[in-house]
Structure 1
Amino acid sequence: MIEKQQGIAWFTICRPTRRNAIDYTVMDELHEAIELAEQDDEVKVLVITGAGEDAFCAGGDLQVFHQLKTKEEAYAMLAKMGNILYRLLTLPKPTVALINGIAVGGGCELATACDFRFARAGARLGFVQANLAITTGWGGATMLFEKMAYDKALHLLLQAQTITAEEAERIGFVHRTFHHSLREQCEKEMSGYTNKSTHVLRAYKEAATKRWKTEEFRRRFFAEIEQCAHLWESEEHEQAVQSFLAKRNK
């Protein structure tokens, strides 16, 4: 769902019964939101959040994507979302992940693509992909190493556990934690940007993202996606997913 208000375009993932997991429809809707933010001069900030109070985004929807078995099938899906997150990463407007609840797996990759990450106090976040015998598949690790201290980023990826928003703020992944009124607090934080010229916002963002528009960075970004696709068709990944689904369905 996309709405505009006071210079902010709000994109809300509306799949609360699936913990706002991403499927192909959400991918297409997110692409539309990015297009809107890029082309509409009235939009000065893009904020991404999840519907409800429990989840920001639980990553890719396993019920949908577990049907993909070969590395070619996996790569088609991973590259589709990877391209969307690359556009989000390099969008010439400020972007915010408003993490209203749990963010795991691809949900953390989505948040990493944004310039700022604000989170509800107590929300849990984690790059848990390694527990499913795969790596980040949407460019998340490549982006994370750009945005955090090396050792802290590597620890998040290798540990593959969830941490609280407060701990994520302490290590520099989350920029602010809010205890209540997330949307209002986010609007307040962004008010210093939305009263500025769109041309100024674009100029600063283009200066900031120039280093990510190189062929070398794109090569690393999509090599990560290709590596995940290779691991995707492994027996180890298949067994890990089957075990995860069995536990969840008990």
Structure 2
Amino acid sequence: MSYNNILVNQDQQITTITINRPKKLNALNKETLIELHNAFSEAENDKNTRVIILTGSGEKAFVAGADILEFADFDVKEGSELAKQGQDLVFNFIENLSKPVIAAINGFALGGGLELAMACHFRIASDNAKMGLPETSLGVIPGYGGTQRLPQLVGKGKAMEMIMTARMINAEEALKLALVNYVVTLDELLPLAGKIASKIMQNSPLAIAAAIKAVNAGFKDGVNGYKKEIKQFGKCFGTKDFTEGTTAFLEKRKANF
């Protein structure tokens, strides 16, 4: 599938999706969101993809935010629909994929950009990265899950401060807050993402998919995460990966998943 705003590359079972609007600092517009949905859906259904890496083109920005020109004149109904469509189409969709998604944050990740990174299963950042949710400075609030995911990751108090002040934080502060897992130079960013992806691929894809479901369940209203864990744990016993993993362990060899 061809795209206007993103690049997709697959190498050794790793699919890298790059948002490619450098002149707009990779800002998210409607077309880009649709393309992201299609690219992630394609990777999810591709048997040759085991891990997905999401990044931005250039050295300045992962995603600098949403394209404000597209919604500056929206009314209440249109604004609500914008948030709902975005969450359903991309942000919640990414969070619930069965394949691990690593956000490689290169430069600015602001507003919808940070929300996009937070929808991924975990994040790494370059040392020039800047992150924040500046929406209140525009008279709105984060609408792509930011008010929910940021408190889950950094705690309620810090999330409230970041949202209310609309300030950016640098990569080192993001690391201290556990918003990102690692900070490296820009040149080291994608190689590190690939190294982590390779490590993930040594393990059972079916077990990883089950773990994603179990972990996500603990952050959903009305869902008992412990019960979800028990269910997913039990299901693992009926998989070929469980048979291979336990057999390999007993035979003192490396499992072939």
TM-score (ref. length: structure 1): 0.81
Q: Is the 8 A contact 1:19 1:58 kept in 2?
A: yes
**CA offsets 1:3-44 (integer angstroms, 9 cap, x no match):** 222222211111000000001111011101221232223222
How many Å apart are 1:145 and its aligned residue?
Answer: 2.0
Q: Which runs of 4+ in 1 moved over 4 A?
A: 212-217
- The answer to whether 1:165 aligns with 2:171 is yes
Q: Distance in 1 between matches of 2:220 and 2:13?
A: 26
Q: Is the 8 A contact 1:90 1:213 kept in 2?
A: no
Which residue does the alignment assign to 1:197? 204
Which residue does the alignment assign to 1:28? 34
- Classify the secondary structure of the residue corresponding to 2:97: coil
How many residues align? The count is: 216
- Classify the secondary structure of the residue corresponding to 2:206: helix
Aligned CA RMSD, in angstroms, stands at: 1.8
Instruction: Give the structure, 1 or 2, with the largest relative contact order (CA under 8 Å, sep 6 or more).
Output: 1
**CA offsets 1:56-112 (integer angstroms, 9 cap, x no match):** 10111012222x421112222221111120111121221111111111111111111
1:82 to 83, 87, 100: 87
Q: Distance in 1 between matches of 2:102 and 2:111?
A: 18
Q: Which amino acid aligns with 1:80?
A: Q
2:76 to 67, 71, 80: 71
TM-score (ref. length: structure 2): 0.78
Structure 2: gaps spanning 5 or more residues:
1-6, 225-257
Q: Which amino acid aligns with 1:148?
A: V
Q: Distance in 1 between matches of 2:221 and 2:9?
A: 32
Q: Is the 8 A contact 1:41 1:198 kept in 2?
A: no
Q: Which amino acid aligns with 1:134?
A: V
Sequence identity (%): 32
- Classify the secondary structure of the residue corresponding to 2:218: helix
Which residue does the alignment assign to 1:118? 124
Q: Is the 8 A contact 2:151 2:158 kept in 1?
A: no
Q: Is the 8 A contact 1:122 1:166 kept in 2?
A: no
Change (3 A) 1:38 1:214: farther
- Classify the secondary structure of the residue corresponding to 1:135: coil
Q: Distance in 1 between matches of 2:77 and 2:223?
A: 23
